[in-house]
Amino acid sequence: MTVTAPQGFEAAGVAVGLKPTGKPDVAVVVNRGPRKVGAAVFTTNRAKANPIIWSQQVIADRVVEAIVLNSGGANCFTGPFGFQTSHLTAEKAAALLEVSAGDVLVCSTGLIGTGDEVFRGKVLEGVEQGVAALSADGGPSAAEAIMTTDTVAKTGAVSRDGWTIGGMAKGAGMLAPGLATMLVVLTTDADLDAAEADAALRRATGVTFDRLDSDGCMSTNDQVTLLANGASGIRPDMDDFVDALTGLCHELASKLQQDAEGASHDITIEVTGAATEAEAVEVGRSVARNNLFKAAIFGNDPNWGRVLAAIGTTAAQFDPYDVDVSMNGVRVCTAGGPDRPREEVDLTPRATHLEIDLKTGEATATILTNDLTHDYVHENSTYAS
């Protein structure tokens, strides 16, 4: 149920000491063809890690043979030496696989500023071991090797009409728009051309990973990649394919949300009645990023005033005195005033549902976020040490 679920993909995860725990830390995913179609979306952070700078060049021709991913170091802000490391990583994999280095993507995750000679040596060792260990059932070990603060490996797969899509994801903090601190690899044996793969990936990520905003912080290293090899011999109906891909991305995004660092609530913010979808997203994000709201949810406090205060900071069309807010099904605010008493709202379940009706138009959007907890502060105050 992961990247090796579709036909024609092999993967491996190996341990080379990048993680002090000795757990797997380098993953390799290879597309055995027949087609070698690749599509990718990257962090929109202007401060990009070296593997992102490298991979953006690789993806230009939309041909991808393989991906090398490492945890235990982000190789970001590590200068020309760090860029050379990403380049050498691709070259080493290419030599072993007898393909072009220009068709090998590289992803890294871990502490920013980590990318010295020791790091390089271990990553290159990981490529060697990883390529040697490639197998058609190596997906689970690859998913394990990309974990950082994740507590569980995140994988999934979906099959329809003779073709399959598989995927793996990592990410537990710094989950925000323009992707999160997430690395995601999606594979399919459906027969897609490059333009179809690119369009499908953008449609699916636009309403899933791009709407996960755990802590408002945007990573330097995010990458979501789709590899398509046509091994099933079947050209899917594109709407059907996008639907399946979106479903899988939603499943993986939900798994990221559920494993967000220190979180005790998974909050689904459903905005309805917006003038445009973009405004619905803006409103949902403003609430998702409001520390006071997030801390209140942690305290099981249905503080709807903080929701309205957050909406008030947006440029969306709405009348503050005609907004309805419900929490876990209880209408706590009607037309900008108090409705049901806060005592009726049960916020003890982890799954939390916030509904905001702007009563302006017909557009909707759903944003996924988490609460702000002691454990979030603790994990992120000690990450580097």
Supply the angle between the helices 79-97 and 50-58 in degrees, to the nearest 10. Answer: 50
CB of 303 to a copy of itself, least distance (A): 5
Helices (H), 19-78: 50-58
Burial of 229 (C-beta count, 10 Å sphere; 0-12/13-18/19+): buried
Residue type, position 45, single letter: N
Q: Is the dihedral of CA 151, 221, 14, 19 positive or negative?
A: negative
CB of 171 to a copy of itself, least distance (A): 13
Residues in Cβ contact with 280 at an 8 Å cutoff, skipping those fewer than 6 apart: 271, 272, 274, 316, 358, 363, 364, 365
Write the DSSP assignment of 168-212 as a string of letters.
Answer: EEE-SSSB-SS-BS-EEEEEE-S---HHHHHHHHHHHHHTTGGGB
Q: Is 170 annotated as a binding residue?
A: yes
Label the pairing between strands 104-108 and 154-160.
Answer: unpaired
Catalytic site residue from 181, 188, 220, 360:
181
Nearer to a copy of itself, 10 or 261 (CB): 261
What is the rounded CA–CA span in Å between residue 196 and residue 252? 21
Residue type, 119: F
Q: Report the nearest approach of a copy of itself to the CB of residue 25 (Å).
A: 19
Shortest distance (Å) from residue 287 CB to a copy of itself: 11
Helix axes 277-288, 304-311, angle to 10 degrees: 130
DSSP structure class, residue 16: -
Q: Is 380 annotated to bind ligand?
A: yes
- Mark out the alpha helices in the chain (DSSP H runs): 50-58, 79-97, 117-132, 139-145, 194-206, 238-258, 277-288, 291-298, 304-311, 374-381
151 vs 382, beta carbon nearer a copy of itself? 382
By C-beta, is 129 or 328 nearer to a copy of itself?
328
Task: Tell me if residue 4 is catalytic.
Answer: no
Q: Which is nearer to a copy of itself, 9 or 376 (CB)?
A: 376
User: Rule CB under 8 A: which residues touch a copy of itself?
Assistant: 45-48, 74, 76-79, 111-113, 173-174, 215-220, 289-292, 295-296, 298-299, 301, 303-306, 308-314, 320-321, 333, 336-338, 342, 372-374, 376-378, 380-385
71 is annotated as contributing to ligand binding? no
Q: How far is the CB of 184 from a copy of itself (least distance, A)?
A: 19
Nearer to a copy of itself among residue 278 and residue 377 (C-beta): 377
Q: Which is nearer to a copy of itself, 174 or 365 (CB)?
A: 174
385 is in an annotated binding site: yes
Q: Return phi, psi of residue 178, to 5°.
A: 60, 35
Please count the CA atoms within 13 angstroms of the CA of 38 that sit on its side-chain side: 28
Collect all residues with Cβ–Cβ distance below 8 Å to 305 and sequence separation of at least 6.
none
Least distance from a copy of itself to the Cβ atom of residue 282, Å: 13
Residues at the binding site are 148, 170, 181, 261, 380, 385
Residues at the binding site for substrate are 148, 170, 181, 261, 380, 385
Catalytic residues: 181
